[in-house]
Amino acid sequence: MSLPRVDAGLLPAFHLPMRFFLTALCFALAALCWLGLAGPAVWLTRWHPVLLGVTHLQVLGLMAMTMIGALAQVVPVLALRPLPGAARLLPLVHLLLLAGVSFLSLGLGLHRGGLLKAALPLLAAAFLLVLAQLGGALLRRSSGRGSVHSVRLAGFALALTVGLGVWLGLARALPGRLATSLHLTDTHALLGLGGWVGLLILGVGSQVIPMFHVTPAIPPRRLQVLNALALAGLLLVSSGSLGCMRCWYAGALLLSLALAGFGLQALHLLAQRARKIPDATIEAWRIAILYLLVALFLFACSSMAPLSLLHSMKLQLAAALLVLFGVIQTVILGMLLKIVPFLAWTHLQNQAGLDFERLSRVPHMHAFIAKRPGQRVIRLQAAGAGLLAFAPFISAAHWPGLFLLALANGWMLLLLGKSLKTYLSCAKVFQD
């Protein structure tokens, strides 16, 4: 396998991102268990407390945890400089996120204002540290300009999402003291899922797909157009939260066009890859992009006037489920299948130095995670996400969908544990 050249001296120690990755999968399994305990009645309304808790477990517990761990590796490569103080910063961010996400999700799902009050400062501190450290690196001169601009926009969307989320959390924890509305909640969800999540996938995907899968890069002008659409969409959605509904819908449309444009471009790139060998991560990208396009279509259909309020809500729920489980979770599992073995291999190569005997003992990539288990994990995830998206319409899809998703994420957790064990055993030999 031909691997991209990365200076391991730029990267934080291997154990630092691994704690984020392992914790993220535990949060994903907790979200699935919670949905199982709630039963099919959870799909009666999009405002069900358990759905609010599960959504934040997915977006913050799974997505934020994984992406912060991944960005701690990607940003130094993009910025061509290591993160200062990473050994102290990343464990602190991990602890703040772990406590903050747990308190927030339980506070939302169980109607506990005290937990919400405790969660908000923890999460605000965690994201401020991340934005200051990673954002500072990206604002300096860097390589990969188009990808960097996308990640910067994702950071802007994250700042808006967190700010609005803190306001909504305070309004929920202190009833009657702060003005809020369902429209602000919709704006928070759109900025989080369409803005932060979507643009982060756009930025990271435009960098890692050509890097790992030997495809052409997205043409710089096309990436600039996508970034411009996304920026205009974010600004319009933000202004729409102040009462201009036309601005809000126009912003949602521009964000959707940017994400759909990336999805179609990414599918085109994957079809042009030089190596046609079956690959679980490529399969994950294709599935996630197809689910993203379906989710955008369902979201558009939910806004059509002839639909009843009930049918519109169910379409929105199905679109949200596809984004949460079909897009976010599938992309994350696919990225972990590629990133974790690559990081372990890179760090071991660095530890071996110029000692040819040690270099010969560094395991190859598939010794960390074999091809076939990875492919099965992605297929289980895809089937489970597709089934669960029918749950708002057909309650019988609830249990098999959750079972397949739990099987996929539990298997992935075991695979990461095996990778960590392989890395530690080899690193110990090098230290002796």
Averaged pLDDT, groups of 10, the chain, 432 residues long: 53 84 95 94 87 91 87 67 76 94 92 87 88 66 61 80 82 73 78 81 78 76 85 82 77 85 84 76 89 88 70 86 92 90 83 70 82 93 95 93 96 93 83 66
Identify whether 169 is part of a domain. Answer: no
CB-neighbour burial class of residue 275 (10 A; exposed 0-12, middle 13-18, buried 19+): exposed
* CA–CA dist 187, 190 (Å, integer): 5
pLDDT tens per residue across span 67-121: 888 877 766 665 556 677 777 888 999 999 999 999 999 998 988 888 988 998 9
Look at residues 121, 143, 165 and tell me which one is the last residue of a structural domain.
Answer: 143
Identify whether 355 is part of a domain. Answer: yes
* CA–CA dist 152, 231 (Å, integer): 10
Predicted pLDDT at 394 = 92
Predicted pLDDT at 279 = 82
Q: Are 10 and 80 in contact (CB under 8 A)?
A: yes
Identify whether 222 is part of a domain. Answer: no
Helix residue ranges, H only, 243-397: 245-271, 280-302, 309-321, 329-352, 356-361, 365-368, 371-388
Packing angle of the helix pair 280-302, 309-321 (nearest 10 deg): 160
Identify whether 59 is part of a domain. Answer: yes
| Torsion of the alpha carbons at 282, 286, 292 and 294, rounded to the nearest 10 | -160
- What amino acid is encoded at 47 in this protein? W
Look at residues 115, 143, 171 and tell me which one is the last residue of a structural domain.
Answer: 143
* CA–CA dist 321, 314 (Å, integer): 10
Identify whether 65 is part of a domain. Answer: yes
Which residues, including other chains, have CB under 8 Å from residue 379's CB and lie 6 or more apart?
A: 283
Q: Are 343 and 377 in contact (CB under 8 A)?
A: no
Identify whether 360 is part of a domain. Answer: yes
- Number of structural domains the chain divides into: 2
Identify whether 338 is part of a domain. Answer: yes
Look at residues 111, 143, 175 and tell me which one is the last residue of a structural domain.
Answer: 143
Identify whether 202 is part of a domain. Answer: no
**Domain span at residue 48?**
10-143
Predicted pLDDT at 81 = 66
Predicted pLDDT at 2 = 45
Secondary structure class of 13 (helix, strand, coil): coil
Closest to 225 in 3D by CA, of 202, 201, 252: 202
